[in-house]
């Protein structure tokens, strides 16, 4: 059987450049390699609701934002199935059966769940649905027989939990589910792009994101105000490259040909870094270079977005068609799961005959 991709995002905000280098860019490449039999990209609205119970309108509004971001980075509905999680009821049903294969203490130990609980100040009032979302994520992945899950580093514990559920299911009910593999960005800088303020992660609530949909001027303003090395006060001062977001962004975005085009005094990023470390290179010059590189990356994305924004009914049509295709696949898997669990009573002629016989001879 061929390789199958499933991945997705929660629609709680527009997607940013951290999503782009962490996962979106890779998805488009993978979609275009032709190495994958199927590519499923899911807008995880049901998962977003697990910690947004009081804010369903935010989730609802962001479904189309994420869809626009997907289409504008180059995910192509002719090659990838783009769909909406809540429209696939089979996922909920699978989740319900998988719940029996996971313990409460295992969920409590899931590092992503742990840190999210701390971040949201849930303390003792953790919504049950939120607590169980790693199980629903296992349903998302296995419903499509996904072999490959391209995601950011923060999702590693989720994929590990999925693999455990698959192994448990297969050991109890026989070989039924496919054990997926995580596919992380190969460039370390892309694993975790910091916020423009230097904080570890881009997050909407911290206001430190550069969005794919930001206009040219907004992007430059955000870069201009970016945190750098606080001890690099004068141009002549030696500067620190490690942990400096401007250089971390260049690690993630710049390519050798960008130097010839925008900063011909330097042959490579290493040369630029060396100069910064020695002193004599100002932040503004580096920021201008980063701006040129980022604008080059974002311009085609922005242009495509503007086109799709003019045809929102088309965007919904893409999601509807994708959801139909996705449901067909999930229904096949669910039928297979129920057969394995032997809860397919009405299809099981042997069971009916055997019991009929039993009662006849009783
Ligand atoms: N948890 C992912 C996120 O927060 C979204 C997601 C839901 C997902 N189900 C998935 C990702 C299945 C990969 C596979 O971004």
Could you list the beta-strand ranges (E) of 124-268. 148-150, 181-183
- What is residue 248's predicted lDDT score, i.e. its pLDDT? 94
Q: Phi and psi at residue 291, in whole multiples of 5°?
A: -60, -45
- Packed helices 56-73 and 25-33: angle between N→C axes, nearest 10 degrees: 50
What is the rounded CA–CA span in Å between residue 51 and residue 40? Answer: 24
Ligand 1, pocket-test mutation among 81, 137, 201, most atoms within 8 A of CB? 137
Does residue 54 belong to any structural domain of this protein? Answer: yes
pLDDT digits (tens, 9 = 90+) for 197-221: 998 788 888 889 999 999 999 999 9
What is the rounded CA–CA span in Å between residue 149 and residue 212? Answer: 22
- What is residue 73's predicted lDDT score, i.e. its pLDDT? 97
Q: Write out residues in the chain with pLDDT < 70, as ranges.
A: none
172 and 23 part of one domain: yes
Q: Please state, for a pLDDT cut of 90, what percent of the chain lies above it.
A: 85
Q: Computed over its alpha carbons, how large is the radius of gyration of the chain?
A: 24
Q: Is the CB of 47 inside a 6 Å radius of any atom of ligand 1?
A: yes
- What is residue 216's predicted lDDT score, i.e. its pLDDT? 96
Ligand 1, pocket-test mutation among 5, 7, 12, most atoms within 8 A of CB? 7
What is the rounded CA–CA span in Å between residue 153 and residue 192? Answer: 7
Domain that holds residue 104: 4-192+312-352
Closest Cα to residue 319, out of 145, 60, 98, 109?
60
322 and 210 part of one domain: no
Q: Is the CB of 137 inside a 6 Å radius of any atom of ligand 1?
A: yes
Tell how far the Cα of 181 is from the centroid of ligand 1, in angstroms.
14
pLDDT digits (tens, 9 = 90+) for 153-179: 889 999 999 999 999 999 999 999 999
Q: What is the DSSP annotation of 322-335?
A: HHHHHHHHHHHHHH
What is the rounded CA–CA span in Å between residue 307 and residue 355? Answer: 62
What order of strands is seen across the sheet that includes strand 148-150? 81-84, 36-43, 3-9, 148-150, 181-183
Considering the entire predicted model, what is its pTM?
A: 0.94
Q: Is the CB of 330 inside a 6 Å radius of any atom of ligand 1?
A: no
Closest Cα to residue 92, out of 145, 42, 135?
135
234 and 97 part of one domain: no
Closest Cα to residue 242, out of 233, 254, 251?
251
- What is residue 245's predicted lDDT score, i.e. its pLDDT? 94
Exposure class string for 49-60: b at 16+ Cβ within 10 A, else e: bbbbeeeeeebe
Tell how far the Cα of 225 is from the centroid of ligand 1, in angstroms.
31
- Helix, strand or coil, per DSSP, at residue 282: coil
Under a CB-based contact definition with an 8 Å cutoff, are residues 212 and 68 in contact? no
Q: What is the CATH number of the domain that holds 327?
A: 3.40.50.620
Total domains in the fold of the chain: 2
Q: Is the CB of 86 inside a 6 Å radius of any atom of ligand 1?
A: no
- For the chain, what is the total number of helices (H) and then of strands (E)? 18, 5
Q: Is the CB of 6 inside a 6 Å radius of any atom of ligand 1?
A: yes
214 and 164 part of one domain: no
What is the rounded CA–CA span in Å between residue 211 and residue 69? Answer: 10
29 and 158 part of one domain: yes
164 and 245 part of one domain: no
Q: What is the CATH number of the domain that holds 222?
A: 1.10.240.10
Q: Where are the alpha helices (DSSP H) in 182-282?
A: 188-191, 216-224, 245-253, 256-262, 269-278
Tell how far the Cα of 136 is from the centroid of ligand 1, in angstroms.
10
Q: Is the CB of 27 inside a 6 Å radius of any atom of ligand 1?
A: no
Under a CB-based contact definition with an 8 Å cutoff, are residues 209 and 178 in contact? no
231 and 344 part of one domain: no
């Amino acid at each position: 059987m061929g390789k199958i991709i499933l991945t997705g995002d929660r629609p709680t905000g527009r997607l940013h450049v951290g999503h782009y280098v962490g996962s979106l860019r890779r998805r488009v490449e993978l979609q275009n390699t032709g190495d994958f039999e199927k590519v499923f990209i899911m807008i995880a609205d049901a998962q977003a609701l697990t910690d947004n119970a009081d804010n369903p309108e935010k989730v609802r509004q962001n479904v189309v934002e994420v869809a626009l971001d997907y289409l504008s980075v180059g995910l192509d509905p002719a090659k990838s199935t783009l769909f909406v999680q809540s429209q696939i009821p089979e996922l909920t049903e699978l989740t319900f059966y998988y719940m029996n294969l996971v313990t409460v203490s295992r969920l409590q130990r899931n590092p992503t769940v742990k840190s999210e609980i701390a971040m949201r100040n849930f303390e003792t009032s953790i919504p049950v649905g939120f607590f169980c979302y790693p199980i629903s994520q296992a349903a998302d992945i296995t419903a499509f027989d996904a072999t490959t899950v391209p995601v950011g580093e923060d999702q590693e514990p989720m994929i590990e939990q999925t693999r455990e559920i698959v192994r448990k299911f297969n050991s109890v009910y026989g070989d039924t589910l496919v054990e997926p593999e995580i596919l992380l960005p190969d460039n370390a800088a892309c694993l975790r792009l910091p916020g423009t303020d230097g904080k570890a992660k881009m997050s909407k609530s911290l206001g430190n994101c550069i969005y794919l949909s930001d206009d040219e001027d907004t992007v430059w303003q955000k870069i201009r105000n970016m945190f750098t090395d606080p001890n690099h006060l004068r141009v002549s001062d030696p500067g620190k490259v490690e942990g400096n977001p401007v250089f971390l962004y260049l690690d993630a975005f710049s390519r050798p040909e960008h130097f010839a085009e925008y900063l011909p005094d330097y042959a490579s990023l290493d040369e630029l870094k060396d100069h910064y470390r020695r002193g004599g290179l100002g932040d503004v010059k580096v920021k201008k270079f980063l701006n040129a590189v980022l604008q080059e990356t974002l311009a085609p994305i922005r242009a495509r977005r503007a086109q799709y924004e003019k045809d929102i009914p088309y965007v919904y049509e893409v999601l509807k068609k994708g959801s139909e295709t996705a449901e067909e696949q999930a229904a096949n898997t669910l039928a297979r799961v129920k057969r394995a669990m032997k809860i397919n009573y009405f299809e099981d002629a042997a069971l009916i005959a055997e019991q009929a016989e039993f009662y006849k001879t009783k």
